[in-house]
Amino acid sequence: MGKDNRNAAVGPWWLRWNAHLPLSVLYALCALLTWTMRHVLRYRVAVARDNLRRCFPTCSEREIDALLARHYRQLGELAAEFVKTAAMSAGEMCARVPVINLSLLQAELVAGRSVLLLGAHQCNWEWSLQAVTLQIGVPLHAAYKPLHDAAADRQLRALRSRFGARLIAAKRLLREVVRGRDQLRALALIADQVPSSSEGRLWLEFLGRDTAFYPGPGEIARSTGYAAFFAAMTRRRRGHYQIELQPICAAGERPEPLDFTKRYARLLEQLIRAHPSDWTWTHRRWKISRACADAGAGAPAVS
């Protein structure tokens, strides 16, 4: 993809138009939107508050309220930054989101070995995809969940792939892994979603709660022998982040999926506890209970 195309705005007309507004203006507009969502529409306020209370039982109500307020404010910033993505240059993206410990990943690539990158819904995961794509120096193939609306899905894919990432539907990822074994690349997954399927869940204690995880990332690590890294994203200040690559497993190690997932979950939990307002507390992360899953027909569970 040429430089001109990479720096050109993408997406529907309204997104392209708004993307050229200064970030300060977008922040103000989105702050008003999220204030309305929280205080007028009450969008998932009860869900977020319940999640915070259960995961931080020693926090007072005042502390929970403060976390909730910061979380919604940062959701507004995330919305503004998502819009701005459509018009940002590659240089600006890299300046706003540097990747730390990149040499660890590059050592694998220089040795001719592909790598596995695991992220989370922490801070700005949309910019995380773009920044890593620009800075690793090899093709990045990222798993994603297609939208039901075909036109909206095409527009979202165009935006997410504007700096060269190749998006692969999550249900096709294992087939793509096998097909592209000889290609030097990075495979990227957001691994903290709810596994809604009744099959293949791994149950761990996470943030003090029984939590279901997808086994897929661990199965990929075991079958490929790729070195795996957690892309830990933290906020430096508004509109500026950094990604620190933290090892999960070494090349050729091939851990069992449960052990691999425990390592990922431990790193993610440490990140969330250090920066609690940056995770997506409005997400219904615990809508599947272990008791109900264990009672379901043929639903496997491990601990």
pLDDT tens digits, 52-74: 999 999 999 999 999 999 999 99
- Range scoring the smallest mean pLDDT among 141-155, 225-239, 256-270: 141-155
How big is the CA angle at 129 (ends 118 and 282), to the nearest 5 degrees?
75
Residues 6+ apart with CB under 8 A from 13: none
Model confidence at 188: pLDDT above 60: yes
Model confidence at 294: pLDDT above 80: no
37-44 CB contacts, 8 Å cutoff, 24+ apart: 37/72, 37/75, 38/72, 43/282, 44/282, 44/284
- Its pTM stands at 0.91
Contact by Cβ (8 Å): 92, 84: no
pLDDT class of 298 with cuts at 50, 70, 90: very low
pLDDT class of 296 with cuts at 50, 70, 90: low
Listed residue (247, 242, 271, 248) closest to 99, CA to CA: 242
pLDDT class of 196 with cuts at 50, 70, 90: confident
- Range scoring the smallest mean pLDDT among 11-15, 281-285, 287-291: 11-15
DSSP string for the chain: --HHHHHS--S-HHHHHHHTS-HHHHHHHHHHHHHIIIIIS-TTHHHHHHHHHHH-TTS-HHHHHHHHHHHHHHHHHHHHHHHHGGG--HHHHHHHS-EETHHHHHHHHHTT--EEEEE-SBS-HHHHHHHHHHHHSS-EEEEE---SSHHHHHHHHHHHTTTS-EEEEGGGHHHHHHHTTTS--EEEEE--S---SSSS-EEEEETTEEEEE-SHHHHHHHHH--EEEEEEEEEEETTEEEEEEEEEE-TT----HHHHHHHHHHHHHHHHHHSGGGB-TTS-TT-S-HHHHHHSTT-----
Model confidence at 1: pLDDT above 80: no
What does the pLDDT read at residue 185? 96
